[in-house]
């Protein structure tokens, strides 16, 4: 008579095992992905399975009825202690009695997947660098002089088949006390299967990690459960370095001009991160010791300062990085007191002197290297980081856009904060505007708007607002392709107000009054010219004229409407439904590096292969920049855009006071491929 | 026509090379051991060779005359700058012109040997874990975004064929500044050919290490030149932990009884070591940053406290070590401020709960594992550490001798310090004693003795003194084999003074008066019984009755005369010329681990193989202990000893007041094998 057949779904792996074999043993022998922290002792409940119901004919099994041992005592105890959903079994104790189909639910799989909100990006496979293992350790014996450390290592080998090669100094210091407190039963956090990071007396199944994106302006941290990938707490705060200067270069200057300045900046950012971590831990209600690992991303200056590297070389050509490899540091060495001293802090690698670990993380998140499609990733801040390519080749550059997109250098500009105009529409007939401000869902011409913004006010215009204002002015031909506010339209549009030899457009008549000035247009033209020229330089290098997909990342990329970005020509032409906002892609990349061990080697290998293009030394950059001052562009046809937007075909205005009447031409279509 | 032949002596390696090849290149291609720090740039002078003179017939060369390029400009410059001994050449610049015999002097060899004073021990081959390499690093280039770190690694690969895999965080922090200060020429300290430890701007050829033996009483450090092995400074001081208790167990008690007590002890010993290091650096007149590596040995309690491990488990059975593996820590993590933060501190492994890293170092120094001869190594302190064996098998044990050998528990006992009686002779006819005290070279009956000791006085008797006093009393039969001071001799020896039912021997009639009392004899009997029994237990385990070689290590082992130790039966019988004092063998072992990289893996592998015998749980220990109370032993014949010492054969004295007359028998010889 044959041994019973057991089939695991969804994997479909199957095999025959002796009657009485625990289902977990069957799963392990078949290589079925079933989790366990306690090693089959009925404590952790991670190995739960469901005895399937339904039609098993395709598996060659008639019925599951009676083919598994009834609920055992350890399962009953687990049910009383922790609760066991009806129909669930602990596979470590449920034994095989006959042919059986066993369903492994996602939460019992070690390598479960976390599906992300955006459909176009890959799911994160949970496979953290640190895992928990419950072990029973032999007590010391005068006849066998092995240290406690050696006996622990032996237990991990015998009970978990692990080859431990190292132990965190911090863990070694507490080893004896923890072993005795746990009465020789402990849970061990093991890094990559070979290094003991920490241990807890008795059974422990809470293990966390923090992914942190250290921006020049804000620090954003996500505290994640390493078993499920779930974000347990998300915290952020302003970068406390702001008191040393708003932008990066003023901080680098501070480091250069002041003795010990770099050390001050380092202490400041480390303290800021420590605060954010402490807040995240408090919000999650967990002990800091249970955070086993941290991943950090940031631009090169933040990366260097965090690590205690003087950023002075990043302030001038040739912008030499200290290192472009990934680094590991202990929390203690970074003066992070809210976590265990030995918590591993992993810094993603920087790509070049002004293309940082945040860009590497964006690549990890958006994965241009996994497909055939040519992706263009853009993260706009004071500089724009640009990555272009596909599975065959990746290029990266940084382009000096300046701070105009962040509202600086704009007459009524401000940061994206409550009260800032962020959306603008201009009526094609009346040239009257309507707008939305951050903090209100109403358009300015809707009923109740005044009441809705009574407290926040209409305080200025942020980056996305000025983009939309200019794009709408272009569409209504108040603005020429070359960026001249067309004063000849004044008779139809009283909102055009002369200012010296130029005109401005009155967007909001309040206190303050918000206008779009000719200088504002010039500032945006310069910024968008630099952004477009950077992208175009990479496209030249790759010898392509169009891209298949554009991802706008970062805070600005999240606020901006891709359509308006394209109308102004910030980005090259692309089918609009292939342009997306990635949100905090750098933060997501940090989270991937936190939850998936292999992603670290993936991004490290990738960064070594990414080709860096230096915009500053490329003569073509200047030519592209000049051509890109026109909106959307002097020559690029923007065929995809014209399919969905009624773009003025040709504008010809003399520079200065006497513009000619603009001519409206029919749509010109240029088809790609 | 054949290329010129070059023969290197003393290695005898030879080969033919094109005319014009620098001699260093010839040496490298032949695998001849020639040092270089600057990599052939004529800076370091480490590659000096001598163009041999004399008869080269056996090498098949007629004459060296004219077969090497005359002194080159770089050599002349080196001569002016540093001085070049006449006849010496820099092999990196001297080029081959014809057949040549080249002598590589010892100081130009990388793996030169340091011969030790004691002829019986192996020389130390200089092969440190850290070496210096001078490199020229490419400057940053906007077109190649490699970090400074990556370019340094590339230079080390291209110029030195090194595969760098890691860099000390501390070195990475200073990397950019040092590279620029040195104008892209730096000297790098590389650990084991794969890790950058530190770097200096320009050329640097001073690299040092410190070997330190951390005893319960004293800390002794040797600062060594890693290139030559030379001891540049030797410093020591009292272990500042003494204020927490004289002996180890009272310090462990302090840690147990006081909250934070262990941390206090840790801070105390670390501060002590830091002070000794600072002193050594000052004495040598070198920067602390040039100390690249430290090796540390000590008993298990010192070892644990230094590492920040609570020693409480070492205070009671089963005496569990935290770990019995070797450990590496950075100087910064041990709060050692006198050295560079990244200086590598290597802790030799402990063998068992009371057989420490100091014993492991003693094994490394005395190398019982390299020969056929059975060696017995003994380090006597409050406990005696005993190692027995040869290349096939090594056993280790610790025996609780108590502090009698250190002068404690002895009526007039004191530590070995000026004023302490350390040598004693008793006249066979008159029973009159003579002695020497520490601090004077004269015997007490020599002219000028009183003046010589006028300042230091005769203050007590130290361990070696009491051993000699008892042994002399035994030889003169004032003391019976069973340890009774024989009052019946009082008529011939008025120095025997009744004390209750027992007698004492008046050694020195001064202030204080120094006697050897019956209780003193008992204390030494107990101590020596424990020591002998421990050694005997290991001999039983190895199934041997005699040993080939005995090494007495440590302070007590250095002071004691092996003959007297054997007369009292502290150690088993052995040919006296095979008994030696090793001095601070633990310190020497630490020095070997400092100067020779392979010795680390050697001792780590050995410690894992050493069999530990636990005296406390061995029933035979008690039996051996009782038999060993007699002097030299109840039954052991001590044949070797009797060949050179006129030992009383048999003593039979009733316990108590009425001893019988001792009988003197002829020598009995028992031959080994």
| CA pair distance A467, A473, nearest whole angstrom | 10
Phi/psi at A423 (5° precision): -130, 140
Pairs of residues, one from chain A and one from chain B, whose beta carbons lie less than 8 Å apart: 132
- Give CA torsion, residues B462, B463, B466, B471, to 10 deg: -150
Decide if B228 is inside a domain: yes
Q: Report whether A617 contacts A537 (CB < 8 A).
A: no
Q: Does A386 fall in a domain?
A: yes
User: Cα B182 from chain centroid?
Assistant: 39
Per-residue model confidence (pLDDT) at position B276: 97
Q: Are B273 and B279 in contact (CB under 8 A)?
A: no
Cα gap B315→B296, rounded to integer Å: 22
| B571 in the same domain as B426 | no
B142, B147, B350 member nearest A322 (Cβ): B147
Q: Do B147 and A329 touch (CB under 8 A)?
A: no
pLDDT above 80: residue A191? yes
Give me the residue label for tokens 């952004």: A531
Q: What CA–CA distance (Å, rounded) separates B94 from B439?
A: 55
Coil, strand or helix at B122: coil
pLDDT at A115: 76
Q: Which residues of A touch B328 (CB under 8 A)?
A: none
Domain membership of residue A142 as a residue range: 130-201
Nearest CA in chain A to B313: A176
Q: Give the gap in angstroms from C-alpha A318 to the nearest C-alpha of chain B.
A: 5
pLDDT at A506: 97
Classified as helix, coil or strand, B397 is strand
The pLDDT of residue B653 is 41
Report chain A's mean pLDDT, rounded to a whole number.
Answer: 91
pLDDT digits (tens, 9 = 90+) for A473-526: 999 999 999 999 999 999 999 999 999 999 999 999 988 999 999 999 999 999
User: Containing H/E element for A301?
Assistant: helix A300-307
Secondary structure element (H or E) that encloses residue A219, with its range? strand A218-225
Pairing of strands B291-298, B344-347: parallel
Euclidean distance between CA atoms B308 and A619, whole angstroms? 60
Rounded distance, CA A214 to CA A269, Å?
9
Which residues of chain B lie closer than 8 angstroms to A176, CB-CB? 309-310, 312-313, 320, 322
Q: What is the pLDDT of residue A365?
A: 96
Q: Which of B141, B176, B353 sits opposite A145 (nearest CB)?
A: B353
- Which residues of chain A does B320 touch, with a Cβ-Cβ cutoff of 8 Å? 140, 147-148, 176
Residue bearing the bigger pLDDT, B113 or B562: B562
Residue B161 backbone class (left: φ over 0; alpha: ψ -120 to 50; beta: rest): left
The answer to whether A177 contacts B310, with C-beta atoms less than 8 Å apart, is yes
| Cβ contact B203:B187 at 8 Å | yes
Q: Identify the CATH number of the domain in which residue A53 sits.
A: 3.10.20.30
Residue-wise pLDDT for A286-295, tens only, equals 999 999 999 9
Last residue in a domain, options B167, B201, B235: B201
List the structure tokens of B573. 């019988």
In angstroms, the separation between the Cα of residue A145 and the nearest Cα of chain B is 5
Is B117 inside any structural domain?
no
Please name which of A577, A576, A582 lies closest in space to residue A559, comparing C-alpha atoms.
A582
pLDDT at B652 over 60: no
User: Cβ contacts of residue A93 below 8 Å, gap of 6+?
Assistant: A22, A42, A72, A74, A75
> Computed over its alpha carbons, how large is the radius of gyration of chain B?
30
What integer pLDDT is reported at residue A245 of this predicted model? Answer: 85
Residue A127 pLDDT grade (very low, low, confident, very high; cuts 50, 70, 90): very high
- CATH number, position A230: 3.30.420.480
* In contact, B325 and B603? CB cutoff 8 Å: no
> Are A149 and A298 members of one domain?
no
Q: Picking from A302-311, B384-393, B401-410, B498-507, which range would have the lowest pLDDT averaged per residue? A: B401-410
A550 and A479 part of one domain: no
* A353/B contact by beta carbon, under 8 A: yes
Q: Which of B201, B222, B244 is the last residue of a domain?
A: B201
What are the φ and ψ backbone dihedral angles of B496, each rounded to 5 degrees?
-80, 120
Would you tell me which residues 609-628 of chain B have a C-beta closer than 8 angstroms to some C-beta of chain A? 612, 614, 616-617
Question: In terms of domains, do A221 and A193 share one?
Answer: no
CATH of the domain at B530: 3.30.420
What is the reported pLDDT for B671?
36
> Closest partner residue to A176 among B177, B322, B325, by Cβ?
B322
Judged by CB atoms closer than 8 Å, whether chains meet at B173 and A307 is answered as yes
Tens of pLDDT, residue by residue over A345-358, are 999 999 999 899 99
**End residue of a domain, out of A178, A201, A224:** A201
**Rounded Cα distance, A328 and A339, in Å:** 15
pLDDT tens-digit readout, A451-486: 999 999 999 999 999 999 999 999 999 999 999 999
- Residue-wise pLDDT for A388-411, tens only, equals 999 999 999 999 888 888 888 899
Smallest CA–CA distance from A176 into chain B, residue: B322
DSSP bridge pairs for B114: B124
- Report the number of distinct structural domains present in chain A: 5
Does B442 lie in the same domain as B296?
no
Residues of A within 8 A of B607 (CB-CB) are none
Count the alpha carbons within 13 Å of B71 in the hemisphere toward its beta carbon. 13
Return the pLDDT at A558. Answer: 84
Residue in B closest to A307 by C-alpha? B173
A329 shares contact with chain B (CB less than 8 Å): yes
Residue B603 C-alpha, separation from nearest chain A C-alpha, in angstroms: 16
Q: Which helix (H) or strand (E) holds A611?
A: strand A611-612
A240 and A140 within one domain: no
B123 pLDDT tier (thresholds 50, 70, 90) = confident
Q: What is the mean pLDDT of residues A100-124?
A: 83
Tokens representing B502?
Answer: 């027992």
Nearest by CB to residue A317, choosing from B142, B320, B614, is: B142
Q: What is the DSSP letter of B291?
A: E
* B540 touches A at CB < 8 Å: no
Quick check: A436 and A423 in contact, CB under 8 A? yes
Using the Cβ of B176 and the Cβ atoms of chain A, whether some distance falls under 8 Å is answered with yes
Q: Is B145's Cβ below 8 Å from some Cβ in A? A: yes
- Which of B111, B592, B524, B84 shows the shortest CA–CA distance to B360? B592
Q: Do B142 and A321 touch (CB under 8 A)?
A: no
* pLDDT score for A650: 55
Taking 80 as the threshold, does the pLDDT of residue A171 lie above it?
A: yes
The dihedral sign for the CA sequence A486, A488, A493, A498: positive
Nearest to residue B9, comparing CAs of B55, B78, B41, B70?
Answer: B55
* CATH code: domain of residue A188: 3.10.20.880
**What average pLDDT does the segment A32-53 reach?**
89
A288 and A220 in a single domain? The answer is yes
Two tokens, residue A305: 């300062």
Gap between the Cα atoms of B374 and B368, Å rounded = 7
DSSP B419: T
Residues A67 and A103 in one domain: yes
Residue A668 lies in a domain: no
pLDDT(B667) > 50:
no
Give the mutation candidate from B139, B147, B608 for the A interface (greatest A CB count, under 10 A).
Answer: B147
Span B651-665, mean pLDDT? 41
- Dihedral over alpha carbons A153, A156, A161, A167 (to 10 degrees): -50
- How confident is the model at residue A496, as a pLDDT? 96
In a domain, B116, yes or no: no
Question: pLDDT of B39-80, one tens digit each?
Answer: 888 899 999 999 887 777 777 777 787 889 999 999 999 999
Within a domain: A134:
yes
Mean pLDDT, residues B376-385: 90
Let me know whether B346 and B242 are in one domain.
yes
Of A310, A324, A351, the CB nearest to B176: A310
**CA B515-B520-B524 angle, 5° bins:** 135
Q: Are residues A536 and A396 part of one domain?
A: yes
pLDDT of res. A177:
97
Contact A145 B176 (CB under 8 A): no
Residue B649, pLDDT score: 66
Is the CB of residue B75 less than 8 Å away from at least one CB of chain A? Answer: no
pLDDT above 70 coverage of chain B, percent: 96
- My answer on whether A166 and A262 are in the same domain is no
Residues of chain A neighbouring B351 (CB-CB closer than 8 A): 145
In this structure, chain A runs to a length of 673
DSSP A525-563: HHHHHHHHHHHHHHHHHHT-S--SEEEEEHHHHHHS-HH
Residue ranges of alpha helices (H) inside A137-196 are 148-160, 169-181
The answer on B442 and B299 residing in a single domain is no
Digit-coded pLDDT (tens) for B277-297: 999 999 999 999 999 999 999
Residue range B382-439, pLDDT digits in tens: 789 999 999 999 999 999 888 888 888 899 999 888 999 999 999 999 999 999 999 9
Start-end of H helices in A414-514: 449-452, 463-475
Q: Note the pLDDT of residue B650.
A: 56
Predicted local confidence at residue B426, as pLDDT: 97
Residue A124: phi and psi, rounded to 5, are: -95, 125
User: Any chain B CB within 8 A of the CB of A323?
Assistant: yes
- Please give the pLDDT value at position B657: 40
Cα separations in angstroms, A613 against A304, A469, A536, A537: 21, 32, 11, 8
Provide mean pLDDT across the span B582-599: 95
Residue A203 has which token pair? 């059974």
Q: What is the mean pLDDT of residues B190-204?
A: 96
In chain A, whose CA is at the least distance from the CA of B319?
Answer: A142
Mean of pLDDT values over A9-36: 91
CA neighbours closer than 13 Å in the CB half-sphere of residue A19: 8
Judged against a pLDDT cut of 50, whether residue A662 lies above it is answered with no
Place of tokens 């302090």: B254
In a domain, B121, yes or no: no
Task: Give the separation between CA B329 and CA A533, rounded to whole angstroms.
Answer: 51
Least confident of A85-99, B521-535, B640-654: B640-654
Which stretch of A136-140, A214-218, A283-287, B326-330 has the lowest confidence by average pLDDT? A214-218
For residue A235, give how far its alpha carbon lies from the nearest alpha carbon of chain B (Å).
29
CB contacts of A618 in chain B (<8 Å) are none
CB-CB neighbours of A78 under 10 Å: 21
Contacts of B173 in chain A (CB under 8 A): 307-309
Chain B CB within 8 Å of residue A242 CB: no
User: Are the C-beta atoms of B507 and B514 separated by less than 8 Å?
Assistant: yes
Nearest neighbour of A148 by CB, restricted to B172, B176, B322: B322
Q: Do A308 and B175 touch (CB under 8 A)?
A: no
Res A1 pLDDT > 80: no
Predicted confidence (pLDDT) at residue B672 exceeds the cutoff of 50: no
* A339 part of a folded domain: yes
Instruction: List chain B residues with CB under 8 Å of A300.
Output: none
Within an 8 Å CB–CB cutoff, is residue A176 touching chain B?
yes
């Amino acid at each position: 008579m044959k041994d019973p057949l057991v089939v695991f779904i969804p994997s479909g792996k199957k095999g025959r095992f002796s009657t009485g074999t625990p289902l977990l043993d069957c799963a392990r022998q078949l290589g079925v992905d079933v989790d366990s922290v306690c090693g089959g002792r009925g404590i952790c409940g991670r190995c739960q399975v469901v005895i399937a119901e339904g039609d098993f004919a395709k598996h060659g099994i008639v019925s599951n009825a009676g083919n598994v041992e009834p609920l055992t005592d350890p399962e009953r105890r687990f049910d009383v202690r922790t609760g066991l959903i009806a129909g669930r079994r602990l596979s470590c104790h449920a034994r095989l009695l006959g042919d059986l189909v066993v369903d492994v639910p996602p939460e019992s799989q070690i390598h479960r997947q976390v599906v992300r909100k955006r459909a176009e990006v890959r799911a994160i496979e949970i496979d953290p660098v640190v895992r928990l293992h419950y072990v029973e350790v032999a007590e010391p014996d005068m006849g066998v002089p092995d240290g406690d450390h050696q006996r622990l290592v032996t237990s991990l080998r015998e009970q978990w088949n692990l080859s431990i090669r190292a132990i965190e100094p911090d863990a070694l210091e507490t080893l004896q006390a923890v072993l005795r407190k746990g009465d020789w039963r402990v849970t061990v956090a093991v890094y990559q299967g070979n290094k003991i990071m920490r241990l807890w007396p008795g059974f422990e199944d809470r293990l966390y990690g923090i992914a942190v994106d250290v921006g020049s302006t804000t620090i954003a941290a996500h505290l994640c459960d390493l078993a499920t990938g779930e974000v347990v707490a998300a915290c952020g705060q302003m970068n406390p370095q702001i008191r040393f200067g708003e932008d990066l270069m003023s901080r680098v200057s501070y480091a250069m001009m002041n003795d010990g300045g770099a050390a001050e900046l380092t202490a400041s950012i480390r303290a800021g991160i420590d605060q954010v971590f402490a807040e995240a831990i408090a919000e999650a209600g967990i002990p800091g010791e249970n955070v086993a690992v941290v991943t950090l991303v940031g631009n090169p200056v933040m990366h260097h300062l965090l690590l205690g590297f003087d950023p002075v070389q990043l302030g001038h050509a040739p912008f030499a990085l200290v290192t472009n490899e990934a680094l590991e540091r202990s929390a203690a060495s970074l003066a992070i007191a809210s976590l265990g001293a030995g918590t591993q802090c992993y810094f993603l690698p920087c790509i070049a002197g002004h293309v940082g670990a945040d860009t590497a993380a964006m690549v990890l998140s958006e994965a241009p290297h996994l497909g055939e499609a040519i992706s263009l990733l853009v993260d706009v801040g004071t500089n724009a980081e640009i990555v272009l390519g596909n599975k065959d080749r990746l290029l990266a550059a940084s382009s000096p856009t300046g701070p105009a997109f962040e509202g600086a250098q704009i007459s009524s500009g401000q940061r994206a904060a409550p009260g800032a105009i962020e959306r603008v529409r201009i009526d094609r007939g009346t040239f009257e505007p309507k707008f939305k401000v951050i903090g209100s869902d109403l358009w300015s011409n809707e009923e109740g708007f005044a009441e809705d913004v009574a407290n926040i006010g209409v305080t200025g215009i942020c980056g996305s607002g000025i983009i939309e204002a200019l794009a709408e002015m272009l569409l209504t031909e108040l603005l020429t392709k070359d960026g001249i506010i067309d004063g000849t339209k004044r008779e139809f549009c009283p909102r055009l107000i002369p200012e010296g030899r130029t005109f401005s457009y009155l967007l909001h008549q309040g206190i303050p009054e918000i206008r779009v000035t000719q200088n504002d247009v010039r500032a945006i033209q310069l910024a968008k010219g630099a952004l477009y020229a950077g992208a175009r330089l990479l496209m030249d290098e790759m010898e392509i004229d169009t891209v298949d997909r554009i991802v706008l990342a970062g805070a600005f990329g999240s606020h901006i409407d891709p359509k308006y970005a394209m109308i102004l020509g910030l980005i090259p032409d692309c089918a609009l439904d292939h342009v997306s906002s990635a949100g905090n892609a750098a933060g997501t990349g940090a989270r991937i590096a936190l939850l998936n061990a292999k992603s670290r080697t993936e991004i490290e290998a990738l960064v070594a292969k990414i080709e860096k293009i230096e915009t500053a030394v490329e003569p073509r950059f200047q030519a592209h920049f000049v051509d890109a001052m026109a909106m959307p562009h002097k020559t690029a046809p923007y065929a995809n855009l014209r399919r969905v937007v009624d773009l003025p075909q040709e504008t010809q205005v003399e520079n200065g006071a006497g513009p000619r009447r603009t001519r409206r031409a029919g749509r010109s279509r240029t088809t790609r491929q």
